[in-house]
Structure formats: structure tokens, C-alpha cells
Amino acid sequence: MTENVEKEVRRLAEEAKAASVELGMASFDVRNAALRAMAASLRAHTEDVLAANAQDMEAARAGGMKDSLLDRLLLTEERVEGMASALEELAALPDSLGRVLEDRTLGNGLRVQRVTVPFGVVAMVYEARPNVTADAAGICVKTGNACVLRSGSSALHSSIAIANVLHEAAVGAGLPRNCIRIVESTDRSSADALMRMHGVVDLLIPRGGAGLIRRCVENATVPVIETGTGNCHVYVHEAADLEKARAIVMNAKTQRTGVCNACESLLVDRSIAQAFLPEMLAELARAGVLVHGDAEARTAASVASEGCADAEGSPLAQFVDATEEDWGTEYLALEISVKAVDGPEEAIAHINRYGTHHSEAIVTEDAAVAERFLAAVDAAAVYANASTRFTDGGVFGLGAEIGISTQKLHARGPFAADALTSYKYVVRGDGQVRS
């Protein structure tokens, strides 16, 4: 079984490798025409895609998938339209290929240029995110890369439907057959095979939970861009505007819980904890958020619950004592850890210890403290007086993103078309030889 799966994955990857040469040479106009055709085809096949997604949703509910992940898995007409629109937005972006990054003439007359080029074959391994299929295929087409997609079992029917629609549209618009390939096996060996396909796969990008990402990073023999989990913090400094802070925390925590840029931990200066937390915790409780808190948070939760109960007399504040594990947990649910700190330096140290280098925010009206936080916190995106929910390629003006990188080499933060290019040196001479 495993041997047959690995052979099938290798066949798909080698087909993509062969297609990558022609795809990498396709003109800007042809690639953009393909993206527009892919968008139109996705719209035309919305009913087919939604029918496939209904199969995935039914199986996921039967298997007990939690609500935040069901939300990631769900496709609607609006979300399919969003995928199509993202493809058209990609077509409107400037070309990432053929950009001259450096141009100089040496003393011997050689002209040396550094020019952007595709990677070749990009493999994506992802979980319950069918929209990744469209985003990854679109960005790869834009940048002249062939792609091999490997969806998780929970999104398999949706992903296959989307990939097939996009592939046929791309080929119909003039791109080489096999430029978009999808692995239909969800056996673990299929992902492992992609990780080890040195010489065929040029870049691997995992998107999913911590376990998947760790397995790719630890076992891959091909280059990996690590898209990280998001244990994101909001730190409320003693000089914060508390109304502004409450709005930011609520948006960061509850606007969409199953995403990597949602707030998972709230830090509050001890000097304002009892002025800020009771109302904050009551508001979180009304939104159904379970608080994992320290002693200061427990005191505030008691205050929040006094005289504030539902129709049956149960306290509105939902609270459990935090453990050491909570400080490093990405809940992806209506849960949050809450801790009091003694000022910015403790907050920064806590975030740098327990955070995942994704997105971190401070709320303060003290400009110097804000700048200290922005400089000292080690994360791909740092915010002053804004929600962490903005860490997104589309919101940042990058177009559809292929992931959010928490590493420091090659790509960091939301990355899209430009990050899926490498470069080569192009040297032109007139008979020069080296003595």
C-alpha cells in the first residue's frame, strides 16, 4: 500500500516537474489570462464545489470536529466567490518574474544581472482548509511554478473538486497540462513522500496544526517554508485607552476563533488589572469565552460575576485556573489565557518565551513604550493599538497569500507571489575569459 502511494505521488510530482519548465517560460499575459479563466470556471462550477464540500462537512460533523475547524472547512457561495475574486486580484498584480534586482557591469565588461525566476515545483501539504487549494494554485500560476497539492482527509472532496476545476481552466487558457496536480491519497505516506522528493520538489509549504508543521520541518529533505501556529498575545499597558483595549481584545479573540492570527493570550499590567479586567472578562464571558487565568484574573472574574448572572442564576464569567501549559497554548476556540504582568519588560519576556513568533499587539497611549515593544518582541508582525487579526496577505495588500511564515529565512509574515520566486545571475559578455 505505502509503496503504491509513494509511486503515485512521485508520478504526479514528476509530471509537475516536466510542466514547470514550460510554465516558467509562459508570458505574463498568458499566466494572467489563465488566472482569470480559473476564476470564471470556479464561479461556473460553484454548485459542484459546494456539493463536494457538503460531503466533507457531513463526515467532519459525524467525526466530532470542533466548531472552529468546521468553520475553516465550510464553503459557501460567498466563500467560493471570495476564492474567485482572489484569483482575479492576483491577475491584477505586477509580474513577480523577470524583475531585475541588480544590474552592474564589471571592470572586464561583463554585464551581471540578478533576475527573479520561479522555484519550479512547489508542494503544499495542508489540512481542513479547502480555500488553500485555490490560493496555492493561483499564486503558483502567477509565479510560473507548477504545484503539487496534498489536502488533509477532512477537506479531500472539496480540494479535489477545486483543483480539477482550476487545472482544466488553466490548461484551456494555454498553460501546460499537469501544471496543477493534486494527491488523492490521504495516507500519511503520501505527505512523507513529498517531503523527501529531493530533486523533484523544489519547495515544501505546510499549512495546518503544530503537529503537521513540526513533522514537515523535522523530516523533509527538501527546502521548507514554515507556516507557524499562532499563540498570539494582546498586552494592555497601564497607559492604554481601556475602551480601545476592550474593543481590540474582543476583535482579536472572537471575530474568528479558528485562525492563526486570533488572540490566544491577554496580558495586563498589574497596576490596572482590577480596573480593566472585571468588565473585560464579563464581556468575554458574554461572548462565550472561557478564561484560563492567574490569581489577578480570578479576583477580577469574581468581581465580574457579582450581581451579573443569567436568568437561571449562573455566573456569566467563565473561569478556570491557568496552568503553565496554558501560556503556550493555541486554543483555536473560544478560550483565552489571562495573566497580570509587572510592566512592559515582563510582558515582552513572556511573549518571547511563550509566543510562536506570529502576531503580537500592545495597547498603550505611551509612544515610547509602544516603540520599545515593537522593537523588542520577536514576531513576524507586531502591532501598536490594533488587532492581531490584520495579519493577512489580502489585508496587507499582497493579494491572496500562500501562508504566514514565522521563520526568518526567505519569507516572514504573510507571503504571497513575491515569496514564491528565487533568482539567478544572468551574465552577458563579449568573449571574455578568466586569466
The 3-class SS string of 245-314 reads HHHHHHHHHHCCCCCCCCEEEEEEEHHHHHHHHHHHHHHHHHCCCEEEECHHHHHHHHHHHCCCECCCCC
Nearest-Å Rg of the Cα atoms of the chain is 24
Measured from the Cβ of residue 137, the count of other Cβ atoms closer than 10 Å reads 31
pLDDT in tens, 125-140: 998 889 999 999 999 9
Q: For residue 47, give the 3-state DSSP assignment.
A: helix
Contact present, 289 and 337 (Cβ < 8 Å)? no
Residue 305 CA to residue 310 CA, distance in Å, equals 10
Q: For residue 391, give the 3-state DSSP assignment.
A: coil
Distance of CA 332 to the CA centre of its chain: 14
Q: Which amino acid is at 419?
A: A
Q: Which amino acid is at 343?
A: G
Is 0.95 surpassed by the pTM of this model? Answer: no
160-170 burial: b if 16+ Cβ within 10 Å, else e: bbbbbbbbbbb
Spans of the chain below 50 pLDDT:
307, 310-315
Q: Is 234 buried (19+), middle (13-18) or exposed (0-12) by CB count in 10 A? A: buried
Q: For residue 76, give the 3-state DSSP assignment.
A: coil
Residue 319 CA to residue 302 CA, distance in Å, equals 9
DSSP 332: -
> Could you give the strand order of the β-sheet that contains 203-207, starting from the edge strand earlier in sequence?
180-183, 146-150, 121-126, 203-207
Residue 367 CA to residue 273 CA, distance in Å, equals 21
Contact present, 245 and 236 (Cβ < 8 Å)? yes
What is the grid cell recorded at 231? 499563540
Phi, psi (deg, nearest 5) at residue 423: -150, 160
What is the grid cell recorded at 102? 541588480
Residue 319 CA to residue 326 CA, distance in Å, equals 13
Q: What is the pLDDT of residue 81?
A: 97
Q: Which residues contact 10 (CB under 8 A, 6 or more apart)?
A: 193, 197, 200
Q: What is the pLDDT of residue 313?
A: 42
Closest CA to 391 of 228, 220, 154, 219: 228
Q: Which helix (H) or strand (E) holds 213?
A: helix 210-219
Q: Which amino acid is at 341?
A: V
